Amino acid sequence: MKKTQAVLADGREIVYYDSRDEGVRAAVDTRDLAPVVSGSEMRYDRLLDEWVVVASHRQTRTHLPAADACPLCPSTPERATEVPEADYEVVVFENRFPSMSGGGASDREPLAPGWADDPFPRRPSGGRCEVMCFTPEHDASFKDLTPERARLVLDAWTDRTAELSALPGVEQVYCFENRGREIGVTLPHSHGQIYAYPFVTPRTAAMIASTAAHRHRTGRNLFEDVVAAERADGARIVAENAHWTAFVPAAARWPYEVHLYPNRRVPDLLALDEDARAAFGGMYLDLLRRFDRLFDGEPAPYIAAWQQAPVRSGRVDFALHLELFSIRRAPGKLKYLAGSESGMGVFISDVPPETAAARLREVGE
Over its C-alpha atoms, the chain yields an Rg (Å, rounded) of 21
Cα–Cα dist 192/179, whole Å = 9
Residues 6+ apart with CB under 8 A from 180: 299, 300, 301, 302
214 catalytic residue (yes or no): no
Nearest to 356 by CA among 235, 179, 196, 245: 235
In 265-356, beta strands by DSSP E? 302-307, 321-326, 328-330, 333-334
Amino acid, single-letter form, for residue 238: V
Task: For helices 274-292 and 353-362, give the axis angle rounded to 10 degrees.
Answer: 90
Cα–Cα dist 90/3, whole Å = 10
Residue 260 neighbours by CB distance under 10 Å: 22
Nearest to 360 by CA among 271, 212, 254, 258: 258
Nearest to 100 by CA among 8, 163, 161, 164: 164
Locate all alpha helices (DSSP H) within the chain, ordered by sequence.
Answer: 147-165, 202-218, 222-233, 274-292, 353-362
CA angle 247, 249, 251 (to 5 degrees): 165
Residue 175 assigned to a binding site: no
Q: Which of 191, 214, 243, 259 is catalytic?
A: 191
Residue 129 assigned to a binding site: no
User: Phi then psi for 18, rounded to 5 degrees?
Assistant: -125, 150
Sheet with 122-124, side-by-side order of all strands? 50-54, 41-45, 122-124
Query: SS3 for 350?
Result: coil
CA angle 298, 285, 349 (to 5 degrees): 55
Per the annotation, binding residues for Zn(2+) are 70, 73, 138, 189
Q: What is the set of active-site residues? A: 191
* Residues that constitute the known binding site: 70, 73, 138, 189
